[in-house]
Amino acid sequence: MSQNIFLIGFMGAGKSTVARELRDHYGMRLIEMDEQIEAEEGRPISQIFAESGEAYFRTLETQLLLSLEHESNTVVSCGGGVPLREENVAAMRLSGTIVYLCAAPETIYERVKDFHTRPLLEGNMNVEYIKNLMAQRIPKYQSAADITVTADGSDVRAVCEEILRNVLHTHSRID
Ligand code: S3P
């Protein structure tokens, strides 16, 4: 595939799992934004937030996205906050299709509850908090998305097939 796929959605929606599947079974290159930022900074996300603040982290996200303009055949697993900045959405549009993976707050909670790697959920690990934060973000996810795919309960392979079918269809309409 010449184009890139940007997976957006709330923490725990399954972006990383789907991205790995697209790499392993569909031959795409994978960029996991959080991992790349951690590697470049030499410290985990939680430490970046604690030492340098969220705004600093958000700028690193934007810089990373801008650097991807010349990539192709790459799936980018975005941090959950990426679509909050308009400039990030514009950068993604330049080089790929934006796929919103959505899942219910209860599903998200089950997936994230045992991890302590997400500073926004530390001390807020409950369905109510997830529901509220998700409600604030859904308009951003929806307006950024070229394609929306539901990812709760579905088998990861089926999610990938739905994404690829939709991406190819979207392309044939644009081309
Ligand atoms: C965040 C999501 C996280 C990570 C950071 C902030 C967010 O990524 O970028 O903790 O604001 O939703 P995942 O969506 O991969 O968990």
Work out the burial of residue 143: count CB atoms within 10 Å of its CB; fewer than 13 is exposed, 13-18 middle, 19 or more buried. Answer: exposed
Residue of the CA atom closest to atom 4 of ligand 1 = 79
What are the CB-based long-range contacts (under 8 Å, 24+) for 35-44? 36/64, 37/61, 37/64, 37/79, 44/117
Which ligand 1 atom sits closest to the C-alpha of 16?
15
Q: What is the pLDDT of residues 61-76, one digit of tens each?
A: 999 999 998 999 999 9
pLDDT of residue 97: 96
Q: What is the mean pLDDT of the chain?
A: 94
Determine the distance separating the centroid of ligand 1 and the alpha carbon of 69, expressed in angstroms: 22
pLDDT digits (tens, 9 = 90+) for 76-117: 999 999 999 999 999 999 989 999 999 999 999 999 999 999
If you average pLDDT over residues 8-34, what whole number do you get? Answer: 97
pLDDT digits (tens, 9 = 90+) for 126-152: 999 999 999 999 999 999 999 999 988
The dihedral over CA atoms of 166, 171, 174, 175, expressed in degrees to the nearest 10, equals -150
Q: How confident is the model at residue 154 (pLDDT cuts 50, 70, 90)?
A: confident
Residue with tokens 């909050």: 84
Residue, of 123 and 3, whose pLDDT is higher: 123
Q: How is residue 105 written in tokens? A: 């707050």
Look up the pTM and report it.
Answer: 0.95
Site residues for ligand 1, CB cut-off 6 Å = 11, 15, 34, 45, 79-81, 118-120
